[in-house]
Structure formats: structure tokens, C-alpha cells
Chain A
């Protein structure tokens, strides 16, 4: 299958992202909860890794931890996150800021609320380009228009001055992807990028992400196995903060080893049914 050949082709390349024993905790003292426990995986250039799980599985926290966006009160308890050979889980705020938006690009779930309603869509792009590439205002604007064109948005020179509410959901998400890819990051993290979109639009956005994966590593977070099936080379299944299954997409989807994965697959086939507790779950 196409997935497997790509995966094997890139397996030899050095991983862009290496996560080793990541543990994320919330609270301190007696009120500590562990949100992610001992998670390990790698992603190489050209690969799309999908982390699949239900809400509460810790997949979003994983994305936030790597993206440096953990909310207050939540912190990395143990483990390493290595990006392009450099440990990033304990960087200072200033060092982190140099990474965010330039080496790491993020795509969020709800593009309407993820854009500031009182600022133009382009202003964020211009700001990011100016900051990370040191461009002048007019150069940054040119780069921003170019980025919007690269995600196949029509009339980007007009769109750059539009406000978020003037765009459709799909257009907004494309703009969000343009923002993520703007400075040529080596890692893109997409957290539920299509959940808030119509079915017809979802496929287009996923195709865009897949295209962007050609020259970088992509981490895709989703609760929807169908999304993972379409986009990902490898799939990691999380349940309650732990990894329960991890392997090439084809293998995980066709021959799931863990009961929880099987339950997820079954649930995906009957969209209205809830997932029953997996056999052997802790």
C-alpha cells in the first residue's frame, strides 16, 4: 500500500521529532493528576503520525506539550522532547518563542475562535513573517500573500485584509495552515484540524496537510479514525494518557493488536454508538 512504501522510504532518515518517556502532569502536591504517561514516539521528515484517542486520552496535552502551549498549572513531569536534535521540553520562554512559529507550526481545531476577530487574517501572517524571518513590513506582506496562495486560497491579495468572520470555515482553516507553514517549519502539529469543518471540506484540508508533509514531519491529533486512515503513515492510539498501540497505519487499521483499538474501529463503523470500555483496560 502507498502508506507503507512511504513509511519505509523515510524510516532511514533521522527523526525530526523524538519524544521519549513524556509525562505530563497537572497540579502539584496532593492534587496531581497525570495526563500523559511515559509516551514515546518519533516522526521523520515526510511522515505523518496520527495520535488517535477519545477525549481525555491525553492526545491534546501531548500536542500542547510539544508545541509549548501547556495551560497554567500543567507541566512536563518527566521525559524528553527532542526537535531536530535539540531538547526543547525545558527551554526558557525566550528560546521557546524563537521556535514557535518558525521551527514548529501549529494548526488548531476551531479556526473561527483561533483567529482574533478584530484583526485581519493577514496581520498574523505578516507578524509571524516579520518576527521569524526578519522581513520588513512590505516584504512580510508579500510573503504572507504568497503563503495564502500556496494553500490555494483565491485572491490572496484581497484575503489578506479580510477579517475572520468574512471567510468560510474551510478558508479559515487553510489560512491557519498557511500561518503554520509560513516560515518553513520542520514540524507541523495539527490538533483536530478538521473537526469543526463540513465533511466535504475536511478532505480538502487533509489533502493540503498531506501535501505539506512532503518536506516536513506532521503530527496529527484526531479522535476520528477515518481522518487518520486518510492522512497518516503511522498511527499511535492513546487511552487515558498511555500509548496502547503504535504502528504503520495499514497494520493498525487492518490488524489491531489492542482491544481498545478494536473498540475504536468498531465504533467508527457505527457512527452513533459509543465506545464500550475496552477489555483489559486498567
Chain B
């Protein structure tokens, strides 16, 4: 029998990498959590306070750790405010998409019911729909606010979860159902919660992390385009948009929010990657 020798180094490296990714991601997450909890007050300034005499101060200026923007508003305070906004939006959207998608996915996992077929059709349709277009439309209808963004992003991205849950639950269900049917007269609900859902958790957790990263990016993109966040609000997307006029004179207006977004997304990606490697 021919043997392809599995190099022992490979699985070891994978485990170390997973551990490193999870540790770093977790550490960053803890720092972020701290910043969120402390909020803009950590900066010692009101993010909306306009001071036209202190415009466009570079970072490391006295009293302004990260400098000020074109209206003299403290960048650090605005950054922290934006952090809360982005996290709230991304968390809300992810949870909404997760709940909706998982529920629908579970319902659709039972192959032959008409409801399942319907859900699958709707999912197919929803996935083919240009996401950003729908998001823009919906926001135009309901207006600019955090709740809108959460609603929009959550309702537009649930197919991601639905598809995965549907596929995995179907196979889990087929396996577990046969087993349970043979052993006990277990109610279907119990079957779902005791057996199917736990089986889904590994891939769902990975998906959650990556979806969260996608929501972060989507929210800042929307706010960059002027959709979702009220004009002048301290969100990272807004800050990026406002920085465009000052790229030459005050590049930190761009770099501060840009670095923040990147850091947050990388954290989510680290956690997602680490989880996936860990669960392989």
C-alpha cells in the first residue's frame, strides 16, 4: 500500500499558527473592548467640539494626541466615537444576519418541504441581487441612522449564513435523525437543539468572524459614500471622506481612520483564521 507520509511538522505548525492567531486576535480584541468601554472620554475631548483656532494640528500636538481635523475637532475623540459606531453597526448587522440566516437555514434544511424549497429560492434570489444597490436604496428610504445601517446590512447579507447552515444542517440532520429515530422517539425540536446546532457551531463561529469583518468594511464604505451616517457625525467613513480635501496638507486625517479600520478588520480576520485552523 502506498503511503504518503503526512509530515508531522505540518500539523504542529498549523496548531502553533492557530494559537498565535487566536492569541493575537484575542489580545487586540481585548484592547478594542477596553477602548470601546472607555469611549471618547478617554481622549479628553468632545468629538463634535469645533475649535477653528486649532485646525489641522498634526499628531503629537499638545492636548491632541492624534491631531485635529479641518474644523479643529480632536481626532482621537472622533476615532473612539467612530469605533463605537463601527462596532455597533457591525455587531448588530452580523447578529441580525446570523439570526435570520440561521433560522431560515434550519428551516430549509429539511429537503422536501415546500417551505424549504421556497426559502432556497429566495436565498438564491437574494444572493444574486447587487448588495450595495439594495443597501443604498434601503437607506435612501428609511433615512440616515445607525439603526438603518444595521437593518440594511443585516437584511441584505443573511444568505451567507443561510446557505452554510442549510447545507451543513441538512447533512447533520440526515445523520442524526436516523440515529435518533432508531434510538428514541425524540421530538424534532430537541433534535435540532441538542444535536444539529452544536454540530454547526464550529463553521458558524468562523463565518461569524469573517462576516463581522465584511460588515465593518461595508459600513465604512456606506458612510464614506455619505449613506448611513449623518453628515458630520464622527464615523470612520465620514472621516475618510472628509480627509480627501486635505490629502496634501494633512495626511494624518486619512491615515488615522484608515489605520483604525485596517486594525479592526485584521483583528476579525485573525480570529476567523485562527478559529478555522483550530477547528480543522
Contacts and interface: CB of A to CB of B under 8 A. Distances in A.
Nearest to A53: B1
Interface residues of B, number: 8
A234 interface: no
Interface string B29-59: 0000000000000000000000000000000
B2 A192 contact: yes
Contacts of A108: 2
Contact of A191 (B2, B5, B7): B2
A225 B2 CA distance: 17
B7 to A, nearest CB: 5
A73 B5 contact: yes
Instruction: Kindly name the residue among B4, B5, B7, B8 whose own CB sees the greatest number of chain A CB atoms within 10 A.
Output: B5
Contacts of B8: 27, 31, 73
Contacts of B1: 55, 60, 109, 192, 195, 223
A159 to B, nearest CB: 25
B7 A60 contact: no
Contacts of A64: 2
Contacts of A192: 1-2
A54 to B, nearest CB: 9
Contacts of B133: none
B3 interface: yes
B5 A26 contact: yes
A27 B2 CA distance: 19
B2 A73 contact: no
Interface residues of A, number: 18
B66 to A, nearest CB: 49
A172 to B, nearest CB: 16
A71 B2 contact: no
Interface string B121-160: 0000000000000000000000000000000000000000
B183 interface: no
Instruction: Kindly name the residue among B1, B5, B7, B8 whose own CB sees the greatest number of chain A CB atoms within 10 A.
Output: B1
A60 B2 contact: yes
Q: Is the interface of B mostly helix, strand, loop or mixed?
A: loop
A73 B1 CA distance: 19
A74 interface: yes
A55 B1 CA distance: 6
A195 B4 CA distance: 17
B15 to A, nearest CB: 16
Interface in A47-95: 55, 60-61, 64, 71-74
Interface in A8-27: 26-27
A1 B116 CA distance: 70
B7 A72 contact: yes
Contacts of B4: 71
Interface in B5-32: 5, 7-9
A66 to B, nearest CB: 14
A176 to B, nearest CB: 13
Contacts of A109: 1-2
A180 to B, nearest CB: 15
Nearest to A114: B2
B10 to A, nearest CB: 10
Contacts of B7: 71-73
A61 B5 CA distance: 10
A73 B9 contact: yes
B155 to A, nearest CB: 41
Nearest to B4: A71
A196 to B, nearest CB: 10
A108 B2 CA distance: 8
A61 B2 CA distance: 8
Contacts of B9: 73
A192 B2 CA distance: 8
A72 B7 CA distance: 7
A114 to B, nearest CB: 9
Interface in A23-40: 26-27, 31
Interface in B187-204: none
Contacts of A55: 1, 3
A60 B4 CA distance: 10
Interface of B: 1-5, 7-9
Which 8 A-B pairs give the minimum distances between C-beta atoms?
Answer: A71-B5, A55-B1, A73-B7, A109-B2, A60-B2, A191-B2, A60-B3, A74-B5
Interface of A: 26-27, 31, 55, 60-61, 64, 71-74, 108-110, 191-192, 195, 223
21 contacts: A27-B8, A55-B1, A55-B3, A60-B2, A60-B3, A64-B2, A71-B5, A71-B7, A72-B7, A73-B7, A73-B9, A74-B5, A108-B2, A109-B1, A109-B2, A110-B2, A191-B2, A192-B1, A192-B2, A195-B1, A223-B1
Given A60-B2, A73-B7, 6 more contacts: A60-B1, A71-B4, A72-B5, A109-B1, A109-B2, A192-B2
